[in-house]
């Protein structure tokens, strides 16, 4: 029996429905064809991809182009297939451009250059992938609050709060609360040890994107601050 993911997403698609993604149409492979191809390459059945989240019939309808999935269903499919939402939608990986835009935006906000940060963030703001898209929009909201655009920023934060809660990411929940208060997020205690602990936890949970993020942060800090005995005993 599928849970509530299946119920709203298997309804007939109505033109202009705001709950359904407007999918890009291309001359080559469609979204459904791409999902079917990757599923075949992974040797996964319809039931294995759907799990307890949605039915085999609904996934089959998506692959045949007879149903359009919501964003949350696409996230589930992408995670099960070991790929990214961007790749399912567009046929290409999110790539360096969006990661670079996010990091440039973060640095510019830290430097207090908020308008430049908003311009730099643009390529990353439309990302559906976790956590890149959410991180970009958190930085966007932080810059907007600093520029006095609090109402729009709060709308963004409200949407991203639901995504973060779904992922159960406590670090980003703390970051979001700090942004709402108009504060820069700060890590208490040893930041290297903090990132290593989160990286190890994510690695054990097979969450590669989050593990990479925190190992990378720990490495940069170690290069800047140098190792200590305490930091290596995690």
pLDDT for position 94: 59
Higher pLDDT, 127 or 104: 104
Angle, CA of 35, 159 and 62, to the nearest 5°: 20
pTM: 0.61
Percent of the chain with pLDDT over 70: 84
Domains, the chain, ordered by start? 6-90 (1.10.260.40), 95-180 (1.25.40), 191-232 (no CATH)
Higher pLDDT, 230 or 180: 180
- On whether the CB atoms of residues 231 and 196 are closer than 8 A, the answer is yes
Q: What is the mean pLDDT of residues 205-231?
A: 80
Percent of the chain with pLDDT over 90: 47
pLDDT for position 116: 97
The closest alpha carbon to 105, from 68, 146, 73, belongs to: 146
DSSP label at residue 55: -
pLDDT for position 229: 56
Assigned token pair, 1: 């029996």
The closest alpha carbon to 69, from 89, 83, 51, 52, belongs to: 89
| Burial tier of 87 (Cβ tally within 10 Å: 0-12, 13-18, 19+) | middle
Encode pLDDT of 18-49 as tens digits.
Answer: 334 444 444 478 999 999 999 998 889 999 99
Query: Could you write out the three-class secondary structure of 61-118?
Result: HHHCCCCCCCHHHHHHHHHHHCCCHHHHHHCCCCHHHHHHHHHHHHHHHHCCCHHHHH
| Burial tier of 101 (Cβ tally within 10 Å: 0-12, 13-18, 19+) | buried
- On whether the CB atoms of residues 76 and 53 are closer than 8 A, the answer is yes
CA distance 194 to 191: 5
- On whether the CB atoms of residues 29 and 2 are closer than 8 A, the answer is no
Assigned token pair, 157: 């934060």
Q: What is the mean pLDDT of residues 144-171?
A: 93
Look at residue 150 and tell me whether its pLDDT is greater than 60: yes
CA distance 164 to 142: 16
The closest alpha carbon to 65, from 29, 15, 27, belongs to: 29
pLDDT for position 26: 41
Binning pLDDT at 50, 70 and 90, where does residue 186 land? confident
């Amino acid at each position: 029996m599928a849970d509530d993911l299946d119920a709203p997403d298997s309804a007939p698609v109505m033109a202009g429905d705001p709950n359904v993604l407007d999918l890009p149409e291309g001359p080559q492979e469609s979204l459904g064809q791409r999902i079917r191809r990757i599923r075949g390459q992974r040797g996964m059945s319809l039931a294995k991809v759907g799990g307890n989240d949605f039915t085999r019939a609904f996934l089959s309808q998506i692959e045949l182009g007879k149903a359009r999935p919501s964003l949350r269903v696409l996230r589930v499919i992408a995670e099960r297939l070991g790929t990214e939402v961007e790749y399912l939608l567009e046929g290409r990986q999110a790539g360096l451009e969006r990661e670079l835009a996010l990091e440039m935006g973060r640095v510019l906000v830290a430097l207090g250059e908020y308008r430049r940060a908003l311009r730099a963030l643009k390529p990353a703001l439309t990302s559906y992938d976790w956590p890149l898209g959410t991180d970009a929009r958190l930085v966007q909201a932080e810059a907007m609050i600093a520029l006095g655009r609090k109402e729009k920023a709060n709308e963004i934060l409200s949407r991203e709060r639901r995504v973060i809660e779904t992922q159960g990411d406590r670090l980003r929940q703390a970051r979001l609360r700090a942004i709402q208060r108009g504060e820069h997020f700060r890590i208490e205690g040893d930041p290297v040890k903090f990132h290593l602990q989160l990286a190890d936890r994510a690695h054990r949970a097979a969450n590669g994107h989050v593990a990479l993020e925190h190992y990378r942060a720990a490495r940069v800090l170690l290069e800047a601050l140098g190792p200590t005995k305490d930091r290596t005993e995690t």
